[in-house]
Chain A
Amino acid sequence: MQIQLNGEPRDLAPDLTVAQLVDDLGLSGRRIAVERNEEIVPKSEHGATRLADGDRIEIVHAIGGG
Protein backbone atom coordinates (compact mmCIF):
# COMPACT_ATOMS: atom_id res chain seq x y z
CA MET A 1 0.00 0.00 0.00
CA GLN A 2 1.03 3.58 -0.44
CA ILE A 3 0.63 6.45 2.03
CA GLN A 4 1.65 10.09 2.05
CA LEU A 5 4.26 10.50 4.78
CA ASN A 6 5.16 14.10 5.61
CA GLY A 7 3.97 15.09 2.15
CA GLU A 8 5.94 12.41 0.25
CA PRO A 9 4.57 9.14 -1.20
CA ARG A 10 5.85 6.02 0.59
CA ASP A 11 5.27 2.31 -0.09
CA LEU A 12 4.61 0.21 2.98
CA ALA A 13 3.77 -3.38 3.82
CA PRO A 14 0.04 -3.87 4.32
CA ASP A 15 -1.47 -3.80 7.81
CA LEU A 16 1.40 -1.85 9.32
CA THR A 17 0.56 -0.07 12.59
CA VAL A 18 1.58 3.47 13.46
CA ALA A 19 3.88 2.04 16.16
CA GLN A 20 5.62 -0.18 13.58
CA LEU A 21 6.01 2.72 11.16
CA VAL A 22 7.49 4.91 13.90
CA ASP A 23 9.85 2.07 14.84
CA ASP A 24 10.87 1.41 11.20
CA LEU A 25 11.71 5.11 10.87
CA GLY A 26 13.99 4.90 13.91
CA LEU A 27 11.81 7.31 15.84
CA SER A 28 10.79 5.10 18.77
CA GLY A 29 11.28 6.89 22.05
CA ARG A 30 11.76 10.26 20.31
CA ARG A 31 9.61 13.24 21.18
CA ILE A 32 7.26 13.26 18.20
CA ALA A 33 3.56 13.60 17.48
CA VAL A 34 1.62 11.74 14.79
CA GLU A 35 -1.38 12.89 12.80
CA ARG A 36 -3.37 10.60 10.51
CA ASN A 37 -5.69 12.20 7.95
CA GLU A 38 -5.66 15.42 9.97
CA GLU A 39 -6.57 13.69 13.25
CA ILE A 40 -4.13 13.18 16.14
CA VAL A 41 -3.12 9.58 16.83
CA PRO A 42 -2.37 9.60 20.59
CA LYS A 43 0.77 7.73 21.67
CA SER A 44 -1.40 5.28 23.60
CA GLU A 45 -3.06 4.26 20.31
CA HIS A 46 0.03 3.90 18.09
CA GLY A 47 0.07 0.13 18.63
CA ALA A 48 -3.59 -0.36 17.79
CA THR A 49 -3.85 2.01 14.83
CA ARG A 50 -3.44 0.23 11.48
CA LEU A 51 -2.52 2.28 8.45
CA ALA A 52 -4.62 2.09 5.31
CA ASP A 53 -3.84 2.75 1.66
CA GLY A 54 -4.01 6.45 0.90
CA ASP A 55 -3.51 7.60 4.50
CA ARG A 56 -1.90 10.98 4.97
CA ILE A 57 0.49 10.76 7.90
CA GLU A 58 2.33 13.65 9.49
CA ILE A 59 5.12 13.09 11.99
CA VAL A 60 6.31 16.28 13.69
CA HIS A 61 8.76 17.37 16.35
CA ALA A 62 9.84 20.56 18.12
CA ILE A 63 12.32 22.90 16.46
CA GLY A 64 13.64 26.38 17.24
CA GLY A 65 11.15 29.18 16.70
CA GLY A 66 9.92 32.42 18.19
Chain B
Amino acid sequence: MTDFFQDQPLRIAGHAFTSRLLVGTGKYKDFDETADAIAASGAEVVTFAVRRTNLGQEDGPNLLDVVPPERFTLLPNTAGCYTAKDAVRTCKLARELLDGHKLVKLEVLGDDSTLYPNVVETLKAAEELIRDGFDVMVYTSDDPIVAQELERLGCCAIMPLGSLIGSGHGIQNPHNIRLIIEHANVPVLVDAGIGTASDAAMAMELGCDGVLMNSAIAHARQPVLMASAMKKAVEAGREAFLAGRMPRRQSADPSSPFAGRING
Protein backbone atom coordinates (compact mmCIF):
# COMPACT_ATOMS: atom_id res chain seq x y z
CA MET B 1 0.00 0.00 0.00
CA THR B 2 1.05 3.59 -0.56
CA ASP B 3 2.56 5.50 2.35
CA PHE B 4 -0.32 7.99 2.69
CA PHE B 5 -2.83 5.22 3.23
CA GLN B 6 -2.94 2.45 5.77
CA ASP B 7 -5.45 -0.31 5.06
CA GLN B 8 -7.17 -2.33 7.75
CA PRO B 9 -5.77 -5.84 8.14
CA LEU B 10 -7.70 -8.80 6.78
CA ARG B 11 -9.12 -10.46 9.89
CA ILE B 12 -10.03 -14.15 9.81
CA ALA B 13 -10.87 -16.12 12.95
CA GLY B 14 -8.68 -14.00 15.23
CA HIS B 15 -5.75 -13.78 12.81
CA ALA B 16 -4.82 -10.43 11.21
CA PHE B 17 -3.10 -10.33 7.82
CA THR B 18 -1.53 -7.47 5.89
CA SER B 19 -1.55 -9.37 2.59
CA ARG B 20 -4.90 -10.09 0.99
CA LEU B 21 -3.42 -12.65 -1.39
CA LEU B 22 -3.50 -16.26 -0.21
CA VAL B 23 -1.62 -18.85 -2.23
CA GLY B 24 -1.44 -22.60 -2.74
CA THR B 25 1.66 -24.77 -2.92
CA GLY B 26 0.64 -27.22 -5.65
CA LYS B 27 1.88 -27.70 -9.23
CA TYR B 28 5.31 -26.09 -8.82
CA LYS B 29 8.40 -27.51 -10.54
CA ASP B 30 10.19 -27.98 -7.22
CA PHE B 31 10.34 -26.66 -3.67
CA ASP B 32 12.77 -23.86 -4.63
CA GLU B 33 10.26 -22.48 -7.11
CA THR B 34 7.49 -22.88 -4.50
CA ALA B 35 9.47 -20.89 -1.94
CA ASP B 36 10.48 -18.16 -4.42
CA ALA B 37 6.92 -17.73 -5.71
CA ILE B 38 5.46 -17.52 -2.21
CA ALA B 39 8.09 -14.95 -1.24
CA ALA B 40 7.31 -12.86 -4.35
CA SER B 41 3.56 -13.07 -3.68
CA GLY B 42 3.94 -11.64 -0.18
CA ALA B 43 1.31 -14.13 0.99
CA GLU B 44 1.02 -14.83 4.70
CA VAL B 45 -1.55 -17.61 4.35
CA VAL B 46 -0.47 -20.70 2.44
CA THR B 47 -2.61 -23.72 1.61
CA PHE B 48 -1.46 -27.32 1.38
CA ALA B 49 -2.94 -30.80 0.97
CA VAL B 50 -2.87 -33.85 3.24
CA ARG B 51 -1.86 -37.12 1.60
CA ARG B 52 -0.65 -40.61 2.48
CA THR B 53 3.07 -40.69 3.23
CA ASN B 54 5.01 -42.69 0.64
CA LEU B 55 6.43 -45.54 2.68
CA GLY B 56 9.87 -46.94 2.01
CA GLN B 57 10.99 -44.05 -0.16
CA GLU B 58 13.99 -41.78 0.24
CA ASP B 59 13.63 -38.98 2.76
CA GLY B 60 12.94 -35.99 0.57
CA PRO B 61 12.50 -32.42 1.75
CA ASN B 62 9.18 -31.79 3.44
CA LEU B 63 6.77 -29.07 2.33
CA LEU B 64 6.54 -27.83 5.92
CA ASP B 65 10.28 -27.08 5.79
CA VAL B 66 9.60 -24.77 2.82
CA VAL B 67 6.59 -23.08 4.47
CA PRO B 68 7.36 -23.40 8.18
CA PRO B 69 4.32 -23.02 10.46
CA GLU B 70 6.35 -20.53 12.52
CA ARG B 71 6.49 -18.10 9.58
CA PHE B 72 3.23 -18.68 7.72
CA THR B 73 -0.37 -19.26 8.65
CA LEU B 74 -0.93 -22.68 7.16
CA LEU B 75 -4.27 -23.54 5.67
CA PRO B 76 -4.71 -27.29 5.21
CA ASN B 77 -7.28 -28.10 2.55
CA THR B 78 -9.61 -31.04 1.98
CA ALA B 79 -9.00 -31.19 -1.76
CA GLY B 80 -9.83 -34.58 -3.22
CA CYS B 81 -12.64 -35.22 -0.72
CA TYR B 82 -16.05 -36.02 -2.19
CA THR B 83 -17.94 -36.65 1.05
CA ALA B 84 -18.41 -34.74 4.30
CA LYS B 85 -17.00 -37.73 6.16
CA ASP B 86 -13.69 -37.74 4.26
CA ALA B 87 -13.38 -33.96 4.60
CA VAL B 88 -13.87 -34.13 8.37
CA ARG B 89 -11.30 -36.95 8.67
CA THR B 90 -8.82 -34.94 6.61
CA CYS B 91 -9.27 -31.85 8.81
CA LYS B 92 -8.69 -33.90 11.94
CA LEU B 93 -5.50 -35.36 10.43
CA ALA B 94 -4.35 -31.83 9.55
CA ARG B 95 -5.04 -30.64 13.09
CA GLU B 96 -2.92 -33.50 14.44
CA LEU B 97 -0.21 -32.78 11.85
CA LEU B 98 -0.02 -29.13 12.93
CA ASP B 99 -0.27 -29.69 16.69
CA GLY B 100 -3.81 -28.49 17.27
CA HIS B 101 -4.09 -25.91 14.47
CA LYS B 102 -7.78 -25.05 13.96
CA LEU B 103 -7.93 -23.08 10.69
CA VAL B 104 -8.88 -25.18 7.66
CA LYS B 105 -10.01 -24.73 4.08
CA LEU B 106 -13.04 -26.94 3.56
CA GLU B 107 -13.75 -28.09 0.03
CA VAL B 108 -16.00 -31.01 -0.80
CA LEU B 109 -16.03 -31.71 -4.50
CA GLY B 110 -18.82 -32.96 -6.72
CA ASP B 111 -17.02 -34.74 -9.55
CA ASP B 112 -13.64 -35.18 -11.20
CA SER B 113 -14.21 -33.22 -14.35
CA THR B 114 -15.62 -29.99 -12.90
CA LEU B 115 -14.29 -30.14 -9.32
CA TYR B 116 -17.45 -28.14 -8.64
CA PRO B 117 -18.33 -27.95 -4.93
CA ASN B 118 -20.92 -30.40 -3.64
CA VAL B 119 -22.75 -27.90 -1.47
CA VAL B 120 -24.90 -30.50 0.29
CA GLU B 121 -21.83 -32.35 1.59
CA THR B 122 -20.04 -29.03 2.19
CA LEU B 123 -22.85 -27.81 4.48
CA LYS B 124 -22.80 -31.11 6.39
CA ALA B 125 -19.03 -31.03 6.84
CA ALA B 126 -19.01 -27.35 7.86
CA GLU B 127 -21.55 -28.00 10.58
CA GLU B 128 -19.62 -30.95 11.99
CA LEU B 129 -16.23 -29.21 11.85
CA ILE B 130 -17.51 -26.06 13.54
CA ARG B 131 -19.09 -28.16 16.29
CA ASP B 132 -15.69 -29.79 16.76
CA GLY B 133 -13.97 -26.41 17.20
CA PHE B 134 -12.47 -25.84 13.74
CA ASP B 135 -12.29 -22.41 12.10
CA VAL B 136 -13.68 -23.13 8.65
CA MET B 137 -12.86 -21.13 5.52
CA VAL B 138 -15.19 -22.67 3.00
CA TYR B 139 -14.88 -23.13 -0.75
CA THR B 140 -18.33 -22.93 -2.30
CA SER B 141 -20.30 -22.12 -5.41
CA ASP B 142 -21.20 -18.51 -6.24
CA ASP B 143 -24.77 -19.07 -4.98
CA PRO B 144 -25.56 -16.20 -2.58
CA ILE B 145 -28.10 -18.24 -0.59
CA VAL B 146 -25.65 -21.08 0.02
CA ALA B 147 -23.08 -18.47 1.08
CA GLN B 148 -25.51 -17.07 3.66
CA GLU B 149 -26.27 -20.55 4.96
CA LEU B 150 -22.54 -21.31 5.38
CA GLU B 151 -22.11 -18.07 7.29
CA ARG B 152 -25.11 -18.90 9.48
CA LEU B 153 -23.46 -22.24 10.35
CA GLY B 154 -20.43 -20.29 11.58
CA CYS B 155 -17.88 -20.42 8.74
CA CYS B 156 -15.21 -17.75 9.29
CA ALA B 157 -14.73 -16.95 5.58
CA ILE B 158 -16.81 -17.61 2.48
CA MET B 159 -14.80 -18.49 -0.62
CA PRO B 160 -16.89 -18.68 -3.80
CA LEU B 161 -15.30 -19.85 -7.03
CA GLY B 162 -14.68 -17.32 -9.79
CA SER B 163 -14.75 -20.24 -12.24
CA LEU B 164 -13.69 -23.90 -12.18
CA ILE B 165 -10.59 -24.84 -10.18
CA GLY B 166 -7.50 -24.66 -12.36
CA SER B 167 -9.44 -23.34 -15.37
CA GLY B 168 -8.06 -19.80 -15.41
CA HIS B 169 -11.39 -18.52 -16.71
CA GLY B 170 -11.51 -15.62 -14.27
CA ILE B 171 -14.69 -14.42 -12.60
CA GLN B 172 -17.59 -15.73 -14.65
CA ASN B 173 -20.39 -14.20 -12.61
CA PRO B 174 -19.26 -10.96 -10.98
CA HIS B 175 -22.87 -10.10 -10.12
CA ASN B 176 -23.17 -13.14 -7.88
CA ILE B 177 -19.86 -12.34 -6.18
CA ARG B 178 -21.24 -8.83 -5.50
CA LEU B 179 -24.45 -10.30 -4.06
CA ILE B 180 -22.45 -12.59 -1.76
CA ILE B 181 -20.31 -9.66 -0.56
CA GLU B 182 -23.33 -7.42 0.05
CA HIS B 183 -24.93 -9.96 2.38
CA ALA B 184 -21.82 -11.28 4.13
CA ASN B 185 -20.63 -10.32 7.59
CA VAL B 186 -17.48 -12.45 7.33
CA PRO B 187 -14.64 -12.07 4.81
CA VAL B 188 -15.39 -13.13 1.22
CA LEU B 189 -12.49 -14.38 -0.89
CA VAL B 190 -12.58 -15.55 -4.49
CA ASP B 191 -11.04 -19.00 -4.51
CA ALA B 192 -10.49 -20.75 -7.85
CA GLY B 193 -10.61 -19.58 -11.42
CA ILE B 194 -8.17 -16.68 -11.35
CA GLY B 195 -6.15 -16.74 -14.58
CA THR B 196 -4.16 -13.55 -14.63
CA ALA B 197 -3.53 -10.32 -12.72
CA SER B 198 -6.60 -8.47 -14.04
CA ASP B 199 -8.85 -11.26 -12.67
CA ALA B 200 -7.38 -10.78 -9.20
CA ALA B 201 -7.75 -7.00 -9.45
CA MET B 202 -11.36 -7.47 -10.55
CA ALA B 203 -12.12 -9.65 -7.53
CA MET B 204 -10.78 -6.96 -5.23
CA GLU B 205 -12.56 -4.14 -7.11
CA LEU B 206 -15.82 -6.03 -6.60
CA GLY B 207 -15.16 -5.68 -2.88
CA CYS B 208 -13.71 -9.08 -2.02
CA ASP B 209 -11.64 -9.16 1.15
CA GLY B 210 -9.00 -11.34 -0.48
CA VAL B 211 -8.13 -13.77 -3.24
CA LEU B 212 -6.85 -17.33 -3.03
CA MET B 213 -5.03 -18.83 -6.00
CA ASN B 214 -2.60 -21.56 -6.98
CA SER B 215 -2.59 -22.47 -10.69
CA ALA B 216 -2.54 -18.88 -11.95
CA ILE B 217 0.90 -18.51 -10.38
CA ALA B 218 2.27 -22.06 -10.58
CA HIS B 219 1.26 -22.60 -14.21
CA ALA B 220 2.40 -19.21 -15.49
CA ARG B 221 5.41 -19.39 -17.80
CA GLN B 222 7.38 -17.57 -15.10
CA PRO B 223 5.69 -18.37 -11.79
CA VAL B 224 7.82 -16.08 -9.62
CA LEU B 225 7.18 -13.08 -11.88
CA MET B 226 3.44 -13.88 -11.92
CA ALA B 227 3.44 -14.10 -8.13
CA SER B 228 4.84 -10.57 -8.04
CA ALA B 229 2.18 -9.43 -10.54
CA MET B 230 -0.58 -10.96 -8.41
CA LYS B 231 0.67 -9.19 -5.30
CA LYS B 232 0.42 -5.86 -7.13
CA ALA B 233 -2.94 -6.72 -8.71
CA VAL B 234 -4.52 -7.56 -5.36
CA GLU B 235 -3.14 -4.36 -3.83
CA ALA B 236 -4.23 -2.26 -6.83
CA GLY B 237 -7.71 -3.78 -6.86
CA ARG B 238 -8.07 -3.21 -3.12
CA GLU B 239 -7.00 0.45 -3.38
CA ALA B 240 -9.31 1.01 -6.36
CA PHE B 241 -12.23 -0.49 -4.44
CA LEU B 242 -11.56 1.72 -1.42
CA ALA B 243 -10.97 4.81 -3.60
CA GLY B 244 -14.31 4.26 -5.38
CA ARG B 245 -14.40 4.25 -9.15
CA MET B 246 -15.64 7.25 -11.14
CA PRO B 247 -19.21 7.08 -12.39
CA ARG B 248 -19.68 5.67 -15.89
CA ARG B 249 -20.99 8.23 -18.39
CA GLN B 250 -22.74 7.83 -21.74
CA SER B 251 -20.92 10.76 -23.38
CA ALA B 252 -17.36 12.01 -23.41
CA ASP B 253 -16.14 14.51 -20.82
CA PRO B 254 -12.86 16.23 -21.72
CA SER B 255 -10.14 16.26 -19.12
CA SER B 256 -8.66 19.48 -20.51
CA PRO B 257 -10.72 22.67 -20.09
CA PHE B 258 -12.51 24.24 -23.09
CA ALA B 259 -11.80 27.78 -21.89
CA GLY B 260 -8.66 29.41 -23.33
CA ARG B 261 -8.37 27.28 -26.47
CA ILE B 262 -6.40 29.09 -29.20
CA ASN B 263 -9.18 28.43 -31.72
CA GLY B 264 -11.90 29.73 -29.33
Which A positions have Cβ atoms within 8 angstroms of B?
Answer: 5-7, 25-27, 30-35, 38, 40, 42-43, 58-66
B49 touches A65 (CB 8 A): yes
Select which of B48, B55, B77 is within 8 A of A59 by beta carbon: B55
Q: What are 10 pairs between A and B in contact, CB < 8 Å? A: A31-B62, A33-B96, A59-B55, A62-B49, A62-B62, A62-B97, A63-B48, A63-B63, A64-B48, A66-B213
Q: What are the 3 closest A-B residue pairs judged by CB atoms, nearest first? A: A66-B24, A66-B214, A65-B49
B34 touches A64 (CB 8 A): yes
Task: Report if B28 contacts A (CB, 8 A).
Answer: yes
Task: Report if B64 contacts A (CB, 8 A).
Answer: yes
The residue of chain A having its C-beta at the shortest distance from the C-beta of B51 within the complex is: A63
Which B positions have Cβ atoms within 8 angstroms of A?
Answer: 23-28, 34, 47-53, 55-56, 59, 62-64, 74, 76-77, 79, 89, 92-97, 165, 212-215, 218
**Given contacts A66-B47, A66-B214, A61 and B55 within 8 Å (CB-CB):** no
Q: Once the chains are docked, how many angstroms separate the CA of A32 from the CA of B28?
A: 22
B64 touches A62 (CB 8 A): yes
Q: Once the chains are docked, how many angstroms separate the CA of A34 from the CA of B49?
A: 15
Q: Once the chains are docked, how many angstroms separate the CA of A33 from the CA of B63?
A: 14
Shortest distance between the CB of A20 and any CB in chain B (Å):
15
**Given contacts A32-B97, A33-B94, A60 and B62 within 8 Å (CB-CB):** no
Select which of B24, B55, B59, B62 is within 8 A of A65 by beta carbon: B24
A64 touches B93 (CB 8 A): no
A31 touches B55 (CB 8 A): no
B51 touches A61 (CB 8 A): yes
**Given contacts A60-B93, A64-B34, A6 and B62 within 8 Å (CB-CB):** no
Q: Once the chains are docked, how many angstroms separate the CA of A41 from the CA of B47?
A: 24
